[in-house]
A and B are shown apart, each in its own frame.
Chain A
């Protein structure tokens, strides 16, 4: 537990010690995500890491197509946008032309593991010095909860109304394990935001991924298991519980590859 200690923030006037407040790079506005959606938590973790590393002025993020398409409205640092699945290609171009910037992509599982599979694998294989934050919520959220390559066997979605059939739709895909054998991939870890405890671990992994890039070590990717209560058809609390009981059993948490 000691590792999970929360940093004390200097108090506002007339207050006791503030130990938790909104990070400076997370704009103080409402987000558009559904109640209990993991995107909000992951946005904040990224902001905390950027603030703590002091790299706000150097960061360039690439927002995806998916529910996080307007992430640039929430992040108070430089963000651009790429067509669906193409963020690793855009990140490659930016990083190669501006090697002193810290470049990361934020992608859903439809974005990264379906339409953007080629971009992801080749960016890792080329050993691009970029960071990918991969949000695995097992569905296409933005377009109405269709099956994603990551959808679990038997899971009901808008396009698998009787549950994903392995015979018809194939097996769910573990992207980190696919990337691991590539020499260009340096740091790969899977984390989750289904509980406060796991969220603190997720932050450490995101920190390590950014440090990998800052230190010039090469390609880093963190897969974050995230709740989509809306298209899982359950409350946020049940969705978080489902990650613990089902999703994290198929997608084991932990470091897949490190240097």
Chain B
């Protein structure tokens, strides 16, 4: 089954496809698994390269990743990152009367087989019950476009459970008193807490909070053919050298069915439609050598991540009042998480290069809707620094130390081994005018218009920041920090630094106020679906990937069995 053809994984002999998926990341992999295990023939187009040797090889030793504990390769030089020098994005602040204020990197996610889920640190909380009907809870908020989801938590629950089971999420049911109901325990117990986690947990408990072992899709025991995580420390921003993360677990299941052909180094450039203008017939793409190619199929799933999926629609003439966009909403309601990050400096050495980036946190600050006393914030992660080059560059490039003073910082490591971070994933209120469109002039190296991000912060996020920021500082004090402060809002003054990207193809039951329907199918097209973070009407205050995967599985399930999508999750694998 294992392919020997360059730039292709899976069954190379397939040439007719029931479904074509653009993007092999978190959402695309989840959808592919449901489709392929139910016998549908799937072609996946992936813009990036493959670093999982033998991903389609059934041998139990496989895959053997080419990742490593190598900061230069993964983090500084960006092996799997979208390289902004050839694929820039542009940014302008909401309200700025200019075409753009920045050309370069704007909230990029990796381009590689497995997508952003490869270098993620795999935090996997579920959203809360009330996240699915926030508009009803909050009412109208000026300048924001909160909306209820066209489904509720209970409908998504079986898909959450399946995602956890198939990827191997570790966690402890009941440990988070604010979490919504679960149909069963986590498939794996929590792994060992990092030293920084133990200290911050103590601080959190001392000020009356409810910390817990953060759920995450990394094996804490050998599971489904993958080894247990040995806590090598270089986790966030790194592909896993031993494949203990669940990054490509579902993608591999899909490939092993024999029903999938994954073409990588293949970047989709346009969706082609028939004369009815209600059906997509093919996707045009650039192959590994940059030559144009096409693949046709019966149905099409966009899973290129919220910004790139919306860009592909716009490149295809969907949007701008055109095809597939009677609502005029393609690209709008773009959301990130508004991270409030409180930095604590401790005399303790946290040796962050041991552990798995984040092992603990709490969700007390997610709050409850309409509590006049407390705004809606987000789940909080306990983190520290594990990267040495990046730490040194902070002293050298950003802070400008030289000579003996620099040596003192390099040895004392105040912003490295002695730094603990509390990261609140604050809800980002949706706004119509926070959006991606095509930059009117800037092109990528292939000559295609790049995505332009227009974004402004809403008072909703700032209220949570103001309220919880000082509490995060106090937590550091209770945990033994010598210094603590809240880091400034934006790295580089552009968008929030979060790589949680949502919105742009909002789902809803009314075609006038949404782009996609309750099963993430485009209202205006008969065979085009969204299977990444794009359909989410609201961002919630939890890491989004498990939820976008559950949605993608449900969409794929509905393609297989529209009446009972939850009955086909397991398929035949």
Q: Is B truly associated with A?
A: no
